[in-house]
Amino acid sequence: MNNPLLQAKNIIKTYNEDKIRTNVLKGVNIDIYSNELTAIVGKSGSGKSTLLHILGTLDKADSGEIIYKGEELLKLSDKKKAAFRNIHLGFVYQFHHLLSDFSALENVMMPMLIAGINKNDAKQRALELLEKVALSEKADSRPSELSGGQRQRVAIARALANNPELILADEPTGNLDEKNAQMVFSLFEKLVKEDKIAVVIVTHDNSLSEKCDRVYTMKDGIIHE
Ligand SMILES: Nc1ncnc2c1ncn2[C@@H]1O[C@H](COP(=O)(O)OP(=O)(O)OP(=O)(O)O)[C@@H](O)[C@H]1O
Ligand SMILES: [Mg+2]
């Protein structure tokens, strides 16, 4: 079997708020493979989002290791972590977080412009990505002019902007009806199969998680495959 793209080892995370300690992750181990669609499931409050943020270096663990292609990420400086995220990762959330004053096309161009790609190249690639998510005809529409499923597909196109190797998606279909949820899920399946991108999806929807290649369940601070 091939090596994991990303490995989390013995991740421990505790929140301290108002003198209340919440032991959210009590030694979590997880392996993420390229060419696989991985699901993380579990009850509300079980720590799925916390884990996803730690995997994506957006949040710090108290202890443990995150190893990406053999490199230990938690030791990197904040600046290096930000560069790592920009180069390797794409994030998709339950709420699309698109910029309301910009068109679909401009939203998809944004991460490329931030990464220093020139405007013409960014536009060309953004058009290709919108075509990939079947939204070419909505390139000039603002988020408010799109349906929930369409917005989520723009958010996925944006997550793909810098050619990530790994997409971390936190309940990307949580806000969608069944038909749109299925459409967004199929898109993730396609990214895994055709583009060899690793996708991790947190979901409450069993009909989706059972179609994933690997399913992890969070319970009582521990994860089970
Ligand atoms: N910033 C924070 N400060 C204190 N406690 C937090 C913080 N973020 C999360 N928690 C707590 O950690 C636990 C796990 O939260 P998390 O958001 O990871 O759960 P989840 O599995 O994603 O839940 P949901 O399915 O509802 O999204 C919860 O008990 C939550 O209250
Ligand atoms: Mg959550």
Q: pLDDT for 173-191, tens place per residue?
A: 888 888 888 988 998 999 9
> Best of 15, 17, 58 to mutate for ligand 1, by most ligand atoms within 8 A of CB?
15
**Separation of CA 213 and ligand 2 centre (Å):** 21
Q: Would residue 82 count as lying in a domain?
A: yes
The rounded distance, in Å, linking the Cα atoms of 165 and 152 is: 19
Burial (CB count <10 Å: 0-12, 13-18, 19+), residue 92: buried
Q: What is the pLDDT of residue 7?
A: 95
* % of the chain exceeding 90 in pLDDT: 73
Q: Would residue 127 count as lying in a domain?
A: yes
Does the pLDDT value for residue 110 go beyond 90?
yes
Does the pLDDT value for residue 72 go beyond 80?
yes
Q: Would residue 15 count as lying in a domain?
A: yes
Q: What is the pLDDT of residue 140?
A: 97
Q: What's the domain range around 128?
A: 6-224
**Separation of CA 177 and ligand 1 centre (Å):** 24
Q: pLDDT for 6-63, tens place per residue?
A: 999 999 999 988 888 889 999 999 999 998 999 999 999 999 999 999 999 999 999 9
What's the chain's average pLDDT?
Answer: 92
Number of domains into which the chain is organized: 1
- The atom number, within ligand 1, closest to the CA of 17 reads 4
CB under 6 Å to ligand 1: residues?
15, 17, 22, 24, 42, 44-50
Instruction: Determine which residue's CA is closest to atom 18 belonging to ligand 1.
Output: 47
From the CA of 220, the nearest ligand is: 1
Residue with tokens 């910029």: 99
Does the pLDDT value for residue 96 go beyond 80?
no
Q: Give the mean model confidence (pLDDT) for residues 92-97.
A: 84
> Best of 49, 58, 175 to mutate for ligand 1, by most ligand atoms within 8 A of CB?
49
Q: Would residue 1 count as lying in a domain?
A: no
Instruction: Determine which residue's CA is closest to atom 24 belonging to ligand 1.
Output: 44
Q: Give the mean model confidence (pLDDT) for residues 128-146.
A: 94
Q: What is the pLDDT of residue 1?
A: 58
Q: Would residue 24 count as lying in a domain?
A: yes
Q: Would residue 44 count as lying in a domain?
A: yes
- The atom number, within ligand 1, closest to the CA of 50 reads 18
Does the pLDDT value for residue 149 go beyond 80?
yes
**Separation of CA 49 and ligand 2 centre (Å):** 4
- Adjacent-strand bridge partners of 22: 15
Can you give the length of the chain in residues? 225
3-state secondary structure of 77: coil
Which domain CATH number covers 151? 3.40.50.300
Instruction: Determine which residue's CA is closest to atom 27 belonging to ligand 1.
Output: 44
CA distances to 6, 13, 104, 106 from 130, in Å: 28, 38, 8, 11
Burial (CB count <10 Å: 0-12, 13-18, 19+), residue 23: middle
Q: What is the pLDDT of residue 58?
A: 92
